Copies of this chain bind each other. A is one copy, B any other.
Amino acid sequence: MYHVSFEPGGQTVQVPEGTLLSDAIAQAGLTFNLPCGGQGRCGRCQVIVRQGQVRRRSELRLSREQVDRGYALACQSVVESDLLVEIPPQALVAHAVASEKAAAAVALPDNAGPWQADPFVAAYPLDITPPSLDDNTNDWDRLQRELAAAHGIEPLRAGLPALRSLGPRLRNAGWQVDAIIERATWEDEHPAPRLLDLRPRGTARLCGAAIDIGTTSNVVYLVDLQDGRVIDTASTFNGQIACGEDVISRIIYARREGGLAHLQSLVVGTLNELLDELCQRNGVEAQQIVRLAVAGNTTMIHLFLGIDPQYIRLEPYIPTINRPLPARAAELGLHAHPDAQVDCLPGVGAYVGADITAGVLSSEMYRTEKLTLFIDVGTNGEIVLGNADWLISCACSAGPAFEGAGVQSGMRAIPGAIDEVWINPHTFEPTCRTIGDLPAQGICGSGMISALAEMFLTGVIDKAGRLNRSLSTPRIRVGEHGPEYLLVAADPVRGIAADIVLNEADIANLLRAKGAIYAGFSVLTRSVGISLADVEEVLIGGSFGKYINIEKAITIGLLPDMPWERFRYLGNTSVRGAYQALLSRKLRQDVADIAGRMTYLELSADNSFMEEFTSALFLPHTDETAFPSVARLLRQAATAGSDREP
């Protein structure tokens, strides 16, 4: 056994020889980032071995100089002696995510139906005659008798939690109770109403939770089921991030011994943290949360339910289930009423999940006559095209480049991330804005889009994303990983640990990501015989969309070139859809209909996709006529350039 100590926290653990450093870190209770899930692919779990020996199974992502200085990949290095290991702060998962600002403004749309007249869960007051020797009917039959007589509700079902508390609840309330009854979601299944709990008469408070399980962030809305109000919201990173940043890494992680159960417990742990926080802050008891509606992509829903997602990743990409059956909070381990129904919203396919159907629901595109394009760019790019008459969707495996993975200086959109870049067309000097105006730690997705657009317009890179090394600026140079553009130089005094750069490999990654999304647009519109120009409205959902600069996204060819007023940001449409389906029977039916009638186009089965993708690998596109506004900008830039070099 060896002792492994960690700086700067000072934690120490005892582990046998041959233990992976990443396992030792987990044993020390540190929430450590394994973006690729421990495959040694991403090179982002770097730690510095200050004392002692490790054996590096792979040095692929490390420079010779780094190895000499003690750098090691935690997921690829095994303990061979007592160790003192430094963990750079960026390797730990940050816990603070800005809460959803727009919460107070969330309300049900006008097509929610008479939801208060026919709720999923309601409290029915009862004044029950207590038993006597002459009327010694058991509690359950007595309750059923009174509920049928007073409210016409029969027959009744219940799970063990309700039965277990029945006797004491009835007597402690003096037989004056509110019966909390769940009505079936669907007419055709589980038809009998279900007793969830009893409360002393007049004291039943019914709350619900609308949940979005994002690959990166989890969001919970605490909802008052009686007046429909969003009481409060909370969000944080999905605890699974420590096991991989994108869905594919998570699926691979789930294949490990105990991996699936671990991922399930991590996401449940994250949701419980949020539920606890919301309950405490608002004086709500977990027991009062009597229904939960959950949206998320297909992999996230599988992992949440503990269903192995491996076949989602393998051709022909088959989920175990698209329309999950109702589960109960207790069987998933959620901090809510143990018998609360956990209603996972329906998805469409392996890569178009409930986050997208919920997004379509809350975007209301399924009710409009206008031809609408809905996009949700997260780790994947999901696209839905259609209107009230038809809906077609696809998913582009954009990869997690826009979320910071696979990019040397990439990071998620957290404080310290560069989110906007301007480049002086004469000096090629950049100006960078960071989230929270903190010293830069790296660059996030919107920053990359911004930087790419500026580099392209100023000639720092060409159409193919190659750096113009003939420009006279020290910003363009050859680094460890080849040619690169220096955005911010390391400055230990200001807390900037390393140079922040975009290298040609990063740029190629970003071009593939944006190319995949744009190719999705093209294939989708062509498949229904229309042109992108026919699209009347573009709705941008997902948290990524909140920060995107549309002009710059058009400049790099990520978004189609159309008037800016056709674009609309919707923010987190997934959790809003979950909120609507939590409250309204009509909207719950609508999201089922959306999932049922949405065509799913599997791009890997579509021959034209690869062609469209290849054409979209350039800035903005090989077909420049599709981007007239960008051509205009390029002409202006050329003029400005000629001003400079007469």
Contact = CB atoms under 8 A, between A and B. Distances in A.
Contact of A349 (B136, B155, B160): B136
Interface in A584-619: 600, 602, 604-605
Given A138-B320, A163-B325, A602 B133 contact: yes
A308 B160 CA distance: 12
A97 interface: no
A134 interface: yes
A18 interface: no
A166 B192 CA distance: 27
Interface string A106-122: 00000000000000000
Interface string A294-311: 000000000001111011
A262 to B, nearest CB: 15
Contact of A191 (B137, B191, B349, B600): B191
A21 interface: no
Contacts of A188: 155
A164 B316 contact: no
A139 interface: yes
A430 B310 CA distance: 76
Contacts of A604: 133
Interface string A320-361: 111111010001000000000000000001100000000000
Given A133-B602, A136-B350, A320-B140, A308 B167 contact: yes
A160 B317 contact: no
Given A321-B138, A321-B139, A160 B306 contact: yes
A302 B598 CA distance: 48
B316 A132 contact: yes
Contacts of A318: 131, 136-139, 167
B321 A164 contact: no
A318 B131 CA distance: 8
Interface in A112-168: 131-134, 136-141, 155, 157-160, 163-164, 166-168
Contact of A322 (B133, B140, B171): B140
A164 B308 contact: yes
B166 A136 contact: no
A323 B308 CA distance: 37
A160 B319 contact: no
Number of copies: 2
Interface in A152-203: 155, 157-160, 163-164, 166-168, 171, 188-192
B189 A189 contact: no
Contact of A307 (B134, B167, B320, B331): B167
Given A139-B318, A322-B141, A305 B158 contact: no
A315 interface: yes
A315 B323 CA distance: 49
A378 to B, nearest CB: 21
A419 B100 CA distance: 76
A245 B317 CA distance: 59
B305 A163 contact: yes
Interface in A250-308: 305-308
Nearest to A135: B316
Contacts of A306: 160, 164
A190 B184 CA distance: 12
B320 A139 contact: yes
A319 B164 contact: no
A167 B305 contact: no
A311 B140 contact: no
Contacts of A605: 133-134
A131 B322 contact: no
Contacts of A602: 133, 136
Best-buried of A159, A318, A322 by chain B (most CB within 10 Å): A318
Interface centre among A155, A158, A308 (most CB of B within 10 A): A308
- Interface centre among A138, A139, A306, by most B CB within 10 Å? A138
A157 B191 CA distance: 13
Contacts of A316: 131-133, 136
Given A133-B605, A192-B189, A319 B168 contact: no
A307 B140 CA distance: 12
Contacts of A320: 138-140, 163, 166-167
Given A136-B316, A138-B321, 19 more contacts: A131-B316, A133-B316, A133-B317, A133-B605, A136-B318, A136-B349, A136-B602, A138-B318, A138-B322, A139-B319, A139-B321, A140-B320, A157-B190, A160-B305, A163-B320, A166-B321, A167-B310, A189-B192, A331-B331
Closest 5 CB pairs of A and B: A133-B605, A140-B321, A138-B319, A133-B316, A167-B320
8 contacts: A133-B604, A136-B600, A138-B319, A139-B318, A139-B319, A167-B311, A167-B318, A190-B192
Interface of A: 131-134, 136-141, 155, 157-160, 163-164, 166-168, 171, 188-192, 305-308, 310-311, 315-325, 327, 331, 349-350, 600, 602, 604-605
